[in-house]
Structure 1
Amino acid sequence: MIEARNLTKVYGDKTAVAGVNFTVEAGRITGFLGPNGAGKSTTMRMIMGLDRPTSGTATVNGVPFDRHAAPLREIGALLDAKAVHTGRSAYNHLLAMAATHGIPRKRVHDVIEMTGLTEVAKKKVKGFSLGMGQRLGIAAALLGDPQTIILDEPVNGLDPEGVVWVRTLAKHLASEGRTVFLSSHLMSEMAVTADHLIVIGRGRIIADAPIRDIIAGQGLSRTRVRTDQPDQLQQLLAGTGVTVARQENELLEVTGLDPRQIARAALDGRVMIYELTPLHVSLEEAYMELTKDEVEYHSHITAGAAPVQPGGN
C-alpha cells in the first residue's frame, strides 16, 4: 500500500505538489494521470525517497521508503529507464543491484527471462533500443520480488506485443495481492489496464475513483440521432449545456441529453427520428473534460488548420 498525506513539494516560488492525499491499495492496478507539469513525476519521486517533501508524508507499506531495511524487497520502481550504467551488460547491471540487497543470483536469471531479455542479457546497455531499455527497467523493478510496484510510462517504446505483455504482467501482479501504481499517456491502454484512477492537475488531486466512475461522472452523455428533419430537431434540442453537431445531412450527434430526453423532445415537436444510438464516452474524452482547466499549455490549432512550418512568419 502507498499512502500520501498532505504531501507537498515547493521549488522556490513554484508549488509542484500541493498537499495531496491518496491511497494506492493492494490487489488492484491504480493509474496515475495528469497533464505535463501536473506533479506526477514529483509525486512518484517523493514516494521513492528521491525528492524530500517540503511537508507531509509518503509511505510504502506504512513506512517511508528510506526507512526500509531492504527497500528493493518492499518496492520496485521504473521511473527513468535511462538511469543505467551504459557500459555494463543488462546481466551485470541487475547482478550489481542484487548484490547490494542480498538477492540471489537465480533471481537475476528469473527476471531476465521474465522480461524477454535472455538473448541480449550479456550485451552492453548502451546498444539497447528504447523498448529494450524499458524491459530492463521493469526487470530491475521486479528484482527484489517486491510487494509494491511503481511503473512510470512502462509501455514507452514497446511494440504491440510488449504493450500486451506489460498489461498482462500488471494484472498478474495485482491478482497476487500486490500494489501496482502506474502512469501512462496512452489513454486507450490505461482504459483496459487500470481498475482505479488518480488524476492530478496543477499539483492537486482532481479525481480519485474507479475508472468507470470517472468516465460516468463527467456527464458527457452523447447520442447519435438520424432524422429527416434535422433543422427542426436541432432547434427543439437547443439549450444550456446541450451541443448538437451535424455529422451528415440527416445525422446529428447530441451531447448533454440522454436518449429518453431526445425522444421526448422529438415526440413533443412531432419530429420523426429513425435512429437513436447512445455513444459510449471514452476514457480519453472523460480525461480531457476533467483536466481542461488544468493543463499548463494550450494549443490553439483548430481542426483542419495547417500546422505552422518551422521558420515561418
Structure 2
Amino acid sequence: MIEAVNLAKHYGAKIAVGGVTFTVNPGLVTGFLGPNGAGKSTTMRMIVGLDKPTAGTVTVNGKRYADHKDPLHQVGALLDAKAVHTSRSAYNHLLAMAATHNIPTKRVNEVIDMTGLAAVAKKKAGGFSLGMGQRLGIASALLGDPQTLILDEPVNGLDPEGVLWVRNLAKHLAGQGKTIFLSSHLMSEMAQTADHLIVIGRGKIIADAPIATILAGGQQKKTRIRTSEVTRLSALLAGAGVTVECPENETLEVTGLDSRQIGALAMENQVLVYELTPLSNSLEEAYFDLTKDSVEYQSQEFTEDSPAAADAAASAATKGH
C-alpha cells in the first residue's frame, strides 16, 4: 500500500506537487495520469525517496522508503530505464543488485526468463534498444519479488507483444494481492489495464476513483442511430436538453435521450431504425475533460482554418513554384 498525506514538493517558487493526499491499495492496478509537468514523476520519485518532500509524508507498506531494511523486497520501481551501468551485461546488472539484498542467483535467472531477456542476458546493457531497456528495468523492479510495484511509463518502446505482456503482468500481480502503481500516456492501454485511476494536474489531485466511475462521469453519453429518415427522426427527437448531430449520411448521434426512449419514439412514429447503439465514453475523452484546465504546455490547435494550417499551405504553395 502507498499512502500520501499532504505531500508537497516546491522548487523555489515553482510548486511541482501541491499537497496531495491519496492511497494506492493492494489487489488493484492503479493508473496515474496527468499532463506533462503535472507532477507525476516528482510524486513517484518522492515515494521511493529520490526527492525529499517539502511538506507532508508518503509511506510504502507502512514505512517511509528509507526506513525499510529490505527495500527491494518491499518496493520495486522503474522510473528511468537508462539508470544502468552501460558496460555491464543485463545478467551482471541484476546479479549486482541481487548481491546487495541477499537475493539468490536463481531469482536473477527467473526474472530474466520472465521478462524475455534470456537471449540478450549476456550482452552489454548500453547496446540495448529502448524496448529491451524497458524489459531490463522491469526485471530490476521485479527482482526482490516486492509487495509494491511502481512503474513509470513501463510500455514505452515496447512492441505490441511487450505491451500485452506488461498488461497481463500488472493484472496477474494485482491478483496476487500486490500493490501496482503505474503511469502511461497510452489511454487505450490504461483503459484495459487499470482498475482505479488517480489523475493529477498542476500538482493537485483532480480525480481519484475507479475507472468505471471516471468513465461514467465524463461527457454526456451518446446514442448512434442509423436510419434512412434522418430529417424526420431529427425533428421528432428535438427538444429541451437534447442534442442531435448528423456526422455522416443516414447517421445521427443523440445526447439527452437514452436508447430506450429513442427506440420507443421511433416505433411510435413508424420510423425505420436499423441501428441503435449506446456509445460509451472513452478514457481519452474522460481524461481530456478532466484535465482541460490543468494542461501546462498548450499546443497550437491544427485545423484547416487555423493560422498554422494557413502558414503550412502557403509554404507548400511557395515550394511548388
TM-score with structure 1 length normalisation? 0.91
1:40–1:236 CA distance, 2 compared to 1 (3 A) = farther
Tell me the equivalent position of 1:247: 247
Tell me the equivalent position of 1:226: 226
1:295–1:149 CA distance, 2 compared to 1 (3 A) = same
Moved more, 239-248 or 94-103: 239-248
1:199 paired with 2:203, answer no
Tell me the equivalent position of 1:105: 105
1:217 paired with 2:217, answer yes
1:277 paired with 2:277, answer yes
Distance across 2 between alignment mates of 1:168 and 1:254 = 36
Q: Which runs of 5+ in 1 are unaligned?
A: none
Instruction: Tell me the CA shift for residue 189 of structure 1.
Output: 1.1
1:126 paired with 2:126, answer yes
Task: In structure 2, give the amino acid aligned to 1:11.
Answer: Y
1:203–1:273 CA distance, 2 compared to 1 (3 A) = farther
Distance across 2 between alignment mates of 1:144 and 1:68 = 13
Task: In structure 1, give the amino acid aligned to 2:2.
Answer: I
Tell me the equivalent position of 2:302: 301
Moved more, 78-87 or 276-285: 276-285
1:214–1:120 CA distance, 2 compared to 1 (3 A) = same
Tell me the equivalent position of 2:95: 95
Q: Report if the CA contact (8 A) 1:220-1:286 is conserved.
A: no
1:242–1:203 CA distance, 2 compared to 1 (3 A) = farther
Instruction: Tell me the CA shift for residue 158 of structure 1.
Output: 0.8
Distance across 1 between alignment mates of 2:10 and 2:239 = 44
1:303–1:201 CA distance, 2 compared to 1 (3 A) = farther
Secondary structure at the residue paired with 2:292? coil
1:144-223 correspondence to structure 2 within 5 Å: 144-223=144-223
Instruction: Tell me the CA shift for residue 66 of structure 1.
Output: 0.9
Task: In structure 1, give the amino acid aligned to 2:271.
Answer: M
Distance across 2 between alignment mates of 1:42 and 1:182 = 14
Instruction: Tell me the CA shift for residue 237 of structure 1.
Output: 4.9
Instruction: Tell me the CA shift for residue 266 of structure 1.
Output: 6.1
Q: Report if the CA contact (8 A) 1:147-1:178 is conserved.
A: yes
Tell me the equivalent position of 2:319: none
CA RMSD of aligned residues (A): 2.6
Aligned residues: 312
Moved more, 91-100 or 140-149: 91-100
Secondary structure at the residue paired with 1:49? coil
1:264–1:11 CA distance, 2 compared to 1 (3 A) = farther
Distance across 2 between alignment mates of 1:240 and 1:126 = 63
Distance across 1 between alignment mates of 2:165 and 2:131 = 12
Q: Report if the CA contact (8 A) 1:31-1:183 is conserved.
A: yes
Distance across 2 between alignment mates of 1:242 and 1:206 = 29
Distance across 2 between alignment mates of 1:108 and 1:86 = 18
Q: Report if the CA contact (8 A) 2:219-2:281 is conserved.
A: no
Tell me the equivalent position of 2:140: 140
1:89–1:178 CA distance, 2 compared to 1 (3 A) = same
Distance across 2 between alignment mates of 1:10 and 1:245 = 47
Instruction: Tell me the CA shift for residue 145 of structure 1.
Output: 1.1
1:304–1:163 CA distance, 2 compared to 1 (3 A) = farther
Q: Report if the CA contact (8 A) 2:30-2:198 is conserved.
A: yes
Distance across 1 between alignment mates of 2:241 and 2:20 = 31
Task: In structure 2, give the amino acid aligned to 1:2.
Answer: I
Tell me the equivalent position of 2:82: 82
Moved more, 186-195 or 249-258: 249-258
Instruction: Tell me the CA shift for residue 187 of structure 1.
Output: 1.2
Distance across 2 between alignment mates of 1:114 and 1:38 = 33
1:17–1:233 CA distance, 2 compared to 1 (3 A) = farther
Q: Which runs of 5+ in 2 are unaligned?
A: 317-321
Task: In structure 1, give the amino acid aligned to 2:15.
Answer: T
Q: Report if the CA contact (8 A) 2:2-2:58 is conserved.
A: yes
Distance across 1 between alignment mates of 2:40 and 2:239 = 38
Instruction: Tell me the CA shift for residue 241 of structure 1.
Output: 6.2
Q: Report if the CA contact (8 A) 1:232-1:271 is conserved.
A: no
Distance across 1 between alignment mates of 2:304 and 2:237 = 25
Instruction: Tell me the CA shift for residue 33 of structure 1.
Output: 0.9
Q: Report if the CA contact (8 A) 2:167-2:193 is conserved.
A: yes
Instruction: Tell me the CA shift for residue 54 of structure 1.
Output: 0.9
Tell me the equivalent position of 2:20: 20
Matched residues, percent identical?
69
Distance across 2 between alignment mates of 1:237 and 1:46 = 53
Listed one character per residue, the Cα deviations across residues 185-208 of structure 1 (whole Å, up to 9, x for unaligned) are 111111111111111111111111
